[in-house]
Amino acid sequence: MSDAAKRPAMQSLDEALERLLSAVQPLGLSESVPTGDALGRVLAEAVQSLIDVPPADNSSMDGYAVCAADVTVAGTVLPVAQRVPAGVVGVVHQAGTAARIFTGAQIPVGADAVIMQELCEALAGEGLGSVRVNASVQPAQWIRRRGEDVQQGATVLAAGCRLDAAALGLAASVGAAQLTVARRPRVALFSTGDELVMPGEPLKPGAIYNSNRFTLRAMLQGLGCEIIDLGIVPDKLDATRAALLEAARQADLIITSGGVSVGEEDHLRPAVQAEGSLDLWQIAIKPGKPLAFGRVAGDQAGAWFIGLPGNPVSSFVTFALLVRPVILRLQGATKLQPRGFSLRADFDWPKPDRRREFLRVRVNEAGGLELFPNQSSGVLTSAVWADGLLDNPAGAPIVAGQMVRYLTMSELLT
């Protein structure tokens, strides 16, 4: 039987992703960490507020707290009876007076409005002096009400939420000192191929530097994984099988690049098949296409296996589109896919591929997308130059001025 006859049918990106996500289930393991250490982690338990936020009515401006009924006309002069900085609780407000107040300070009981200091004129006199209010006053103006942001007992962050800087601030604002998050996925990473050498080593004839190891390791770090880096494995069947078993004993997921596409002469494919199970898929995307998915059984529960294509941009794009959602699913995240934005293409693409294309583009100063001139799967400079990918349907030409779907690198890499 020819290689072409053996080759599996091409499947769409959506079909492949559905198969991956239906096979891989959340690990279901969690730990408690300090809120300040939870950046990028996925919440395993929802966060509920312990308090009202803000906990009391407070001023949103530097100015004067008053009773609105005491300022019926602009130019009213009131004695200043007290000074209320943030963190200090003032005395009960007396009608016919003003309280000097600062942003965030609690409104004294009895006052019902704040007038900003720019509309007031401080006057000298006994004690704290007096103030002329040069504007009309409405009840409740410039007051932030108790609980207007969050009410006590409300769920502020749901389980499955991936924690960014704003989420950590929100958790802290409601009194959460510790957060229950999913355990970091343990991902084993290794390379095979006698042609690979590490940067800093002599580049002998026929050798290449192992760039994929660095790219994939960085992408795993960005997703909060605990990385088990097994380095470069000798291009021998027994060594490859041993590396897979060692990885399966330690990891939840094993990632490799290269050496698994249909028809290749290598040891990785038979090694995975010998130690577990393996499917070889042809994904209808460019760059990308070859993907291996399976499971390696170790002494314990074993580990999932994903083999990526070897070309650097293919490996990069396939990881972003297919491996990233798997890693997020292992953590129980609810948002697995990056958002797509509609932007204007400022170039022509008259000869599209029959596969769905992910073109390296970036946003120009006019708000449109410009295209990196060389879209080869071996040109890693295109991924550095780009700030996103243009998701182009199979066989669809692009005409300058057309609206297209754009995926940001910031969402694809974190």
Average pLDDT over residues 222-248: 91
The whole-number pLDDT of residue 264 equals: 52
Among 118, 112, 125, which residue's Cα sits nearest to residue 78? Answer: 125
Residue 41 structure tokens = 């982690």
User: Among 26-30, 201-205, 382-386, where is mean pLDDT lowest?
Assistant: 201-205
Domains delineated in the chain: 3-29+183-330 (3.40.980.10), 31-51+153-182 (3.90.105.10), 58-144 (2.170.190.11), 341-412 (2.40.340.10)
Question: For 266-288, how does the pLDDT look when each residue is reduced to its tens digit (9 = 90+)?
Answer: 788 899 999 999 998 999 999 99
Question: For 146-189, how does the pLDDT look when each residue is reduced to its tens digit (9 = 90+)?
Answer: 999 999 999 999 999 999 999 999 999 999 999 999 999 999 99
Q: Kindly state the DSSP code that residue 235 receives in the 8-state scheme.
A: S
- Helices marked H in 203-323 — which ranges? 211-222, 237-250, 268-275, 312-318
The whole-number pLDDT of residue 8 equals: 63
User: Among 59-63, 232-236, 363-367, 375-379, where is mean pLDDT lowest?
Assistant: 232-236
pLDDT greater than 60 at residue 1: no
How does the average pLDDT of the chain come out, rounded?
92
pLDDT greater than 50 at residue 5: no
Average pLDDT over residues 315-342: 96
Percent helix, strand and coil across the chain, each rounded to 5?
25, 30, 45
Question: For 114-137, how does the pLDDT look when each residue is reduced to its tens digit (9 = 90+)?
Answer: 999 999 999 998 899 999 999 989
For 74, phi then psi, to 5°, come to -65, 140
Give the rounded percent of residues in the chain with a pLDDT score beyond 70.
Answer: 96
Q: Name residue 11's beta-bridge partners.
A: 283
Which positions ≥6 away from 270 have C-beta within 8 Å? 237
Record the pTM: 0.86
The whole-number pLDDT of residue 191 equals: 85
- Residue 398 near residue 349 (C-beta atoms within 8 A): yes
Among 297, 296, 306, which residue's Cα sits nearest to residue 259? Answer: 306
